[in-house]
Structure 1
Amino acid sequence: MSIIVQTTLNMKISILLSALLILSGCAVKKTAVTNASSAFVKGADIGWLPQMEATGYKFYNNSGKEEDCFKILKDHGINTVRLRTWVNPSDDKISGHCSTEETVAMAIRAKKWGMRIMIDLHYSDSWADPSKQKKPKAWEGHDFPGLLTDVYTYTLGVMNALKKEGVYPEWVQVGNETAEGMIYPEGSTSNWGQLAQLINKGYQAVKDVSPASKVILHVDQGNNNKRFRTWFDNAAAHGAKYDVIGLSYYPYWLEGKPDYTLSINDLSANLNDMAARFHKEVMVVEVGNEDNKVQNTYDMLLAVMQKVKEVPQHQGLGVLYWEPEGARSWSHYDLSAWGNDGKPSEALDAFLKFK
């Protein structure tokens, strides 16, 4: 081969490789997770924040100065926010809002504050949890193939709305506390085959927009190993797709309202078992304790974070407090980490303390 031919060939190869690198870089940029980090997750679900602000609630830092709630949370060590999303919510102060539009606006704010982002898709017009998983009104009367399309189309719409604003959530929950399933009755655990199909439509839509986003499946009673084994064994048997196992842990809601010290080791054992049994990362996506037991809540938070961090092979991702800013004076909810003076309680300092 002549020198001229070899030189020309080398130039063509070099140009081709450069083009491939540029295209590869563009692809990564388009699907990169917003504010991704390998740091331990110290998070807060703050779905009530926009309506608290809309009703005139004021947030104050420890010194009594009015500040943006995001800043107060960040100054207390919070690095992640979780945002619930309802399909067609009402404008009710407590049980409404959280539309796609509000979620996107909140996600934009979170991005500006350097927060990592989790989106919690309820697939309902209001609260979805173990006691209720009512399908959105607009989906009523649809046959099962229609519901599969509904889940995919809605999930894709939320993800594309976020993408349009340059937000790619690090995690997306497909369903909220789905111990008994979701989108009743078709997606009940009494019909795991259909539930798995609904889950997989949500998974597919998330990945079609943001392949790097991790999909979470979420069950309550994080200290209840039998509950989790049964649920995730069924998920595996029916081919449900996901990346992370999400747990709720509320000692307050357990029978008899026992102190956390009586169930924390069960939580730890379950975290370790789930990670080892299913080879998945685990995360406590909801935790809470009584706002008037500040020291106990502080101690509980430290203990939960420690148990998650101790999961082998760095499979324990972190802990998120549910509505720490949702002061009882506004929400009538007993498990926030905020005082009636508009300031965060000292319980929230646990996130700063934990290393």
Structure 2
Amino acid sequence: MKLLKYVLSVIIIVLVSCSKKDDNTNSPMVTETFYKGMDLSFQSELEDYNVPYKDANGNAVELLDFVKSKGTNLIRLKLWHTPQDGQNSLEDVKSYAQRIKTKEMNFLLDFHYSDFWADPGTQTPPAAWQNLEIEDLKAAIYNYTKNVVQQLKAQNTLPEIIQIGNETDSGFLWDYGKVWNEFNDNWVNYADLVTEAIRAVREVDTEGKVKIMLHHSSVENSIYFFNELQTYNLDFDIIGLSYYPQFQTKDLDVVASKLNTLATTFDKEILMVEVAYPFTLQWNDNLTNYIGSINQTIPEFAPTPQGQKAYLEWLINTIKNIPNNKGIGFCYWAPDWVAFNGNETTSTNGTSWENQCVFDFNLKALPILDAFNTN
């Protein structure tokens, strides 16, 4: 009889314990997603050419299915307001976003707030917004952002992450929101414009599913930028960073130190939203590449297929070791922007990026893709 009571007591304890675990949504067993992303914004253009991507054995693959099978779980798409060439329009983004969601992958939307490329040296407002008064521009950015997010929500492709501006080190929507050189005292206008964009997202995302990201182009120089924004208490969740060694420090200790300082100073998640590394210093078309010299690379990682893979493995480990679990992942920029339809002297479809892609000059998958399978 005593034995029966003991057994029943144990069963009750186990059942109660399991019930508590099921009810506790904050259980430490629940882990956040570590993003292993790719920016595939060029696909809306490249798919018109039927680029024959292949696996490592030379078998033809469908790009989105293939990169998902290799571990990619986040796709980033850039959005231009009214692009003259028709690429990266809202219709392009909506169409590809449906494919991303069909594959059960996460979606990152990159608002450039321009009709073309926006980066630290170029932040041209859309033609439709030029010559507006500042108050009218605030209304324009709010209405535009809200309309885009509403359309994405209506087709069930609400992004997991929305990026307010692209590499906005110097502000955006120049000169309204410029915070560089003679406009260094213009932070309040930049903050006001960002606030209107964020407000639009939050109003559409009533369930709080979307995380807001602000994006700086430099790991080593970003602390100043986010310090300046502290005063304005902007409602954002993620610090987005670019890291291209040809433009930034090649000292790996400096990179890790700056990331750690950002995490402990600002209490925001950190996403390395633009990264890339060469597998060769050669080229496969008639355009000059962004990296073509050994002096532009990191000494620890040779510009070879294995060196490219080792670079990404180091980066993943560095991100995962950011204090307080603030490192949430990376996004490889333009892994698909290959040269094709000709050789280095005859190609009419050139790219300045083919030696930093994840496919070689025969369009076969490189070893770096194995690094995406990390947990």
Letter in 1 for 2:314: A
Tell me, yes or no, if structure 1 residue 309 matches structure 2 residue 320.
yes
Tell me what 1:348 maps to. 369
Mapped to 2, the partners of 1:339 and 1:164 lie a distance apart of: 39
Which residue in the other structure is 1:180 paired with? 170
Greater shift, 327-336 or 167-176, is seen at 327-336
Is the 2:338–2:359 Cα contact (8 Å) retained in structure 1?
Answer: yes
Aligned residue in 1 for 2:346:
none
Correspondences of 1:325-344 after superposition (within 5 Å): 325-329=336-340, 330=349, 331-333=351-353, 334-344=355-365
1:64 is displaced (CA, Å) by 2.3
1:208 matched to 2:219: no
Map 1:212-231 to 2 at 5 A: 212-222=209-219, 224=220, 227-231=221-225
Letter in 1 for 2:114: S
Displacement after TM superposition at 1:253 (Å): 2.3
Give distance in 1, aligned partners of 2:244 and 2:177: 25
Matching of residue 270 in structure 1 with residue 290 in structure 2: no
Residue correspondence of structure 1 range 1-355 to structure 2 within 5 A: 38-91=32-85, 97-189=87-179, 190=184, 191-210=186-205, 211-222=208-219, 224=220, 227-254=221-248, 262-292=250-280, 293=303, 294-329=305-340, 330=349, 331-333=351-353, 334-352=355-373, 354-355=374-375
CA contact (8 A) 1:252 1:289 kept: no
What SS does the corresponding residue of 2:240 show, helix, strand or coil?
strand
Instruction: Give the percent of matched residue pairs that are identical in Structure 1 and Structure 2.
Output: 30
What residue in structure 2 maps to residue 6 of structure 1?
Answer: none
Q: Deviations over 1:252-283 (max 9, x none)?
A: 223xxx7xxx4222221122111111111111
**2:112/2:165 contact within 8 Å kept:** yes
SS in 2 for 1:285: strand
TM-score where L is the length of structure 2: 0.78
1:307 and 1:70 map into 2 onto residues whose CA distance is 27
Count matched residues.
305
| CA separation of 1:122 and 1:284: change in aligned 2, threshold 3 A | same
Using the alignment, how far apart are the partners of 2:252 and 2:152 within structure 1? Answer: 36
5+ residue gaps, structure 1:
1-36
In the alignment, is the contact (CA less than 8 A) between 1:148 and 1:201 conserved in 2?
A: yes
CA RMSD of aligned residues (A): 1.5
SS at 2:36's partner residue?
A: strand
- Using the alignment, how far apart are the partners of 2:191 and 2:365 within structure 1? 40
Once residues 45 and 364 of structure 2 are traced to their aligned partners in structure 1, the CA distance between those partners, rounded to angstroms, is: 18
Q: Distance in 1 between matches of 2:251 and 2:111?
A: 28
Shift in CA distance, 137/291, structure 1 to aligned 2, threshold 3 Å: farther
Higher helix fraction (1 or 2): 1
Between the aligned partners of 2:235 and 2:170, the Cα distance in structure 1 is 17
Tell me by how many angstroms 1:298 deviates. 0.9
Q: Secondary structure at the match of 1:325?
A: coil
**Structure 2 unmatched runs, 5+:** 1-30, 281-302, 341-348
Q: Is the 8 A contact 2:309 2:367 kept in 1?
A: yes
State the Cα distance separating 1:139 from its structure 2 match: 0.7
Distance 2:364 2:143 in 1: 40
Give 3-state SS (helix, strand or coil) of 1:217's partner: strand
What is the one-letter code of the residue matched to 1:310? N
**Equivalents in 2 of 1:110, 1:339: separation in Å?**
24
CA deviation after TM superposition for structure 1 residue 347, in Å: 2.0
Runs of 4+ in 1 over 3 A off after TM superposition: none
Looking at structure 2, the residues matched to 296 and 167 of structure 1 have their Cα atoms a distance apart, in angstroms, of 36
Aligned-pair distance for 1:67? 2.2
Q: CA deviation at 1:332?
A: 3.2
Q: Secondary structure at the residue paired with 1:251?
A: coil
CA distance in 1, matches of 2:319, 2:39: 18
Distance 1:342 1:161 in 2: 35
Tell me the distance in 2 between the aligned counterparts of 1:81 and 1:341.
24
Deviations 1:19-60 (A, max 9, x none): xxxxxxxxxxxxxxxxxx822111101000111001332222
